[in-house]
Structures are given as structure tokens and as C-alpha cells.
Structure 1
Amino acid sequence: MTLALTAEKIERHRFTGLKVENSTFHNCDFSGADLTGTEFIGCQFYERESQKGCNFSRAILKDAIFKNCDISMADFRNASALGIEIRSCRAQGADFRGTSFMNMITTRTWFCSAYITNTNLSYANFSKAVLEKCELWENRWIGTQVLGATFSGSDLSGGEFSSFDWRAANVTHCDLTNSELGDLDVRRVDLQGVKLDSYQVSLIMERLGVAIIG
């Protein structure tokens, strides 16, 4: 189905489980909508003239897929997004505060599931988000807000991290290989269990004034 909607309030079950391609949603309100298993492919959720995104707050995005979409400036606050896939998208300035990527089994045991790959996350807000052991590779993280976020054990390889505050987030046990690490200061960031490649290590050592021979 191909649609062009403007300023519409989306009914709760209108798109549940459907495949929606090459559609535009300008200033639409998906808040509280059930988008479980819904696929959006090649869709536009950002209106350039008004610079406004769509509202997905409190939406159910379990196993939802956004592929080759523009979800810039979208509001995902307090959405349920276990198993969400965001691939090859533009998501500049999107707000993920309070978004849950987590399945709580008991109060002490839980796991996360999300696939956010090859996506522009510049200036997006992941403050206090928990994205542990998730696939988060080949993303742009320029100026992304990550205060209190937990990425422990996730694959962050191939990322571009400029104007990124490494001290603000937990990146222990992450795969950072093949990433541009920007201003990473190993003296101030807990890098326990982190994977780095030899080129990254040589750059980090150079910054510390250590020369690596051979």
C-alpha cells in the first residue's frame, strides 16, 4: 500500500502487522498505536518544510521494521520497542528517551533486543536508554545524546563517533572495531572488555604520547 497522510491521528490497529511501502506521513500522530510486526519500507515520516517528525510516543513497536525510511525528529518516547529494526534510515534528532528495548523476565533478569544499523543517529537522544547486547553497527553518532545510556556488550563497530561524549554512557564489552572514535580518552572511559582493532589502538597510544614500533 502507498499512502500520503498529513496531520492524521492513526487509529490503534490501523497498521498492525501490515507492510507499508513508499508512503509519506507528515506530522502524523501514531501515539499509542499498535505497530507490532509492521514493516515500513521507503517511507517518509519527516516534513522538511516544518522540520517536524511524527509522534510514536507510547506506541507498541515490538518487531516493527523501518527500512530506508526518514524518521528524523520522530518522538519515540516511552514506546515499547523490543525487537525493533531500524536499518538504513535517517533518524537525526529522533527522541528515544524512555523507549524500552527490554523484555523483563523478572525484576532482576531481562534481555534487550534491537537492530539499529547503517542509520544516521546524529543529534538523536538516547539518554538513559538501555541497549545491551544489541546490533548497533555502522551508525553515525554525531552529537548524539547518550547521558546515562547503557550499550554494554553491543556491536557498535563501523560507527562514526564525533562530538560524542564517551564518558556519558556505558560502553563496556562493546565491539568498537572499524569505528572512528572521535575524542575517546582512554584515561576517562571504562573500556573493560571493549574490542578495538590495531589501528585504533595505535591512534589512541599516539594521543597519549606513546610511540608504537613495528
Structure 2
Amino acid sequence: MRSHTQEPAPAEGTLFSESTFDRDDVVRLLRECGDTPTFEQCDFSGEDLSHLDFRGARFTRCNFGQTVLEHSELARTRWLACKSAGARFRFANASDARFCQSDLNNTDWTGSKLASATFTGVKLTGARFVDTRTLGLVFHDSLLVGADLRGLSFRKQTLEGLNFSDADLSDCDFRDAVFEGGSLRNALLRNSKFDGADLRSVDLSGLRLADVLQHLKGTILSVDQAVMLVGDCGVRVM
């Protein structure tokens, strides 16, 4: 262990608190602890933790800034109030994982498995989700500003408080989805599907009527939204 304020004591259980770990430390404790560990206020920042097995582990207020977790086994892990900006989760298995109230800005999830994973109250600005396996993936009340979400399916989901401003939503499937708040401001909607989607409570500012006619055909809009879009074309609705 590089440094710590409290010596971890595996003999007392699998709780590790206020410690700073390098890869060798993590490999050793995962081998020795015998069951799923819990980490509180631990620092893994900048480490290469690729190809390690963390299945079922719990992380609370931990720091994973710029950490490499590529090809790691993260199924059923729980993450609460963690700082993980810039972490790389490429090709990791995070099926049934739960991420809550965490900073995941600019993370890379390319090729990862996210089946039944849940993100609640997280910051995912600039995050990259490309070629991911996402059956059952759910986002709640999260920032996805500028995120790359190409090809994801949100079909028939209820989308609560999702900010997709400036996000790349090309080829996404929003058919029959219900948006509760949130924003599509300046989002890229190329080849996305919105048939039957309810967008009445979404911020559509920055979109033009041409965008709606081309990409949002078949959606449900409010009167105020329709007036705004028509007004942007220079037409006055009296």
C-alpha cells in the first residue's frame, strides 16, 4: 500500500477504509479477503486495475479518477458518491452494477457489458457509450451532457430528469419513451427514432422545426413547444 491513514485489517472482515491502493495491493487483497470486499473513502486514482475481479464489491466515497478498469469484472458492484472522472471502463462487465450520486464525467464505456445496470443521480458529461451491451440499462436524474450514446435503446422507458444537451443520440431508439423533464437541447438526432415518444416536458431549445420534422416525427409535443418551434421559423402564432 502506497500510503494510508488506517491500516486495513482483513482479519476483522472485508471492510477497507481510508486507504490508498496500488495494483499489487488490490491483487493481494482480492486474493486474500475470501468474499466481496467493501471500500470506504479509499483512493485508487490513476492505477491500472484492468482484468481484475471485483464482482459484488461495494465502493463508497472512493476515488477512481483516471483509473483503468478495462476488461475488469464489475458485475453486481455498488458505487456511492465516488469520484471517477476520466476512468476507463472499456470492455468491463458491469452487469447489474449500481452507480449512485457519483462523478463519472468523461468516462469511457466502449464495448462494456451494462445489462441491467443503473445510473442514478450521476454526472456523465462527455462519457462515451459505444458498442455497449445494454439490455435493461437505466439512467435516472443524470447529466449526459455531450455524451456519446450512439445506438442505445431507450424504447418504452420512462426517462426521469435526463439532460441530453449536446449529446450524440444518433441511431438511438426512443420509441414510445416517456420523458419526465430533462433536455434535448442541441442534441444530435441523426437516424434516431422517436415514434410515439412523449416529449411534452422536455427542453427542446436549440432544435429547429426542420429537426422535429426529420427526426421527431410521431412524437407528442405540448402546445407551447409547437409554438416555440414554429416561432423559430419566423412564423407568428396568434
TM-score, length of structure 2 as denominator length: 0.74
Deviations 1:114-164 (A, max 9, x none): 221211111110122333233432121121112222222333331112221
Provide structure 2 residue ranges, at least 5 long, that are not aligned to the other structure.
1-38
Contact 2:62 2:82 in 1 (8 A): yes
Is this contact kept in 2: 1:91–1:124, CA < 8 A?
yes
Q: Distance in 2 between matches of 1:207 and 1:6?
A: 47
Structure 1 equivalent of residue 113 of structure 2: 80
Q: Name the residue aligned to 1:105.
A: none
Separation in structure 2 between the aligned mates of residue 175 and residue 37 of structure 1, nearest angstrom: 32
Task: Check the 8 A contact 1:143/1:164 in 2, yes or no.
Answer: yes
1:55–1:11 Cα change, 3 Å: closer
Q: Is the 8 A contact 1:115 1:135 kept in 2?
A: no
- Following superposition, the deviation at residue 82 of structure 1 comes to 1.3
Aligned counterpart, 1:203: 228
Q: Structure 1, residues 8-45: CA drift from partner, whole Å, max 9, x if none? A: 23264542112211000122111111211111010000
> Where does residue 69 of structure 1 map in the other structure?
102
Deviations 1:49-82 (A, max 9, x none): xxxx111111111111111111111010011111
In structure 2, what is the equivalent of residue 120 of structure 1?
Answer: 143
Provide the C-alpha distance between the structure 2 equivalents of 1:23 and 1:61, rounded to a whole number of angstroms: 17
Structure 2 partner of 1:175 = 198
Provide the alpha-carbon RMSD of the alignment: 2.1
Change (3 A) 1:38 1:135: farther
Letter of the 2:71 counterpart = G
1:4–1:135 distance in 2 versus 1, CA, 3 Å: farther
Unaligned 5+ residue runs, structure 1? Answer: 47-52, 103-112
1:8-87 matches, cutoff 5 A:
8-10=47-49, 12=51, 14-46=53-85, 53-87=86-120
Residue aligned with 2:196, SS: coil
Q: Which has the larger radius of gyration?
A: 2
Distance in 2 (CA, whole Å) between partners of 1:144 and 1:206 is 24
1:106 paired residue number: none
- Name the counterpart of 1:157: 180
- Structure 1 position 189 matched with structure 2 position 212: no
Q: Cα distance 1:84–1:154, how it changes in 2: closer, same or farther (>3 A)?
A: farther
Residue aligning to 2:5: none
Whether the aligned pair in 2 keeps the contact of 1:159 and 1:176 (CA below 8 Å) is no
Contact 1:116 1:135 (C-alpha < 8 Å) held by counterparts = no
Change (3 A) 1:91 1:4: same
Partner Cα distance (2:58, 2:194) in 1: 34
Aligned residue pairs, count: 195
Secondary structure, aligned partner of 1:6: coil
Which range moves more in the overlay, 85-94 or 158-167? Answer: 158-167
| More helix per residue | 2
The percentage of aligned residue pairs carrying the same residue is 17
Q: Among 163, 177, 184, which residue is 1:140 paired with?
A: 163
Considering Cα pairs closer than 8 Å and 6+ residues apart, tell me whether 1 or 2 has the greater RCO. 1
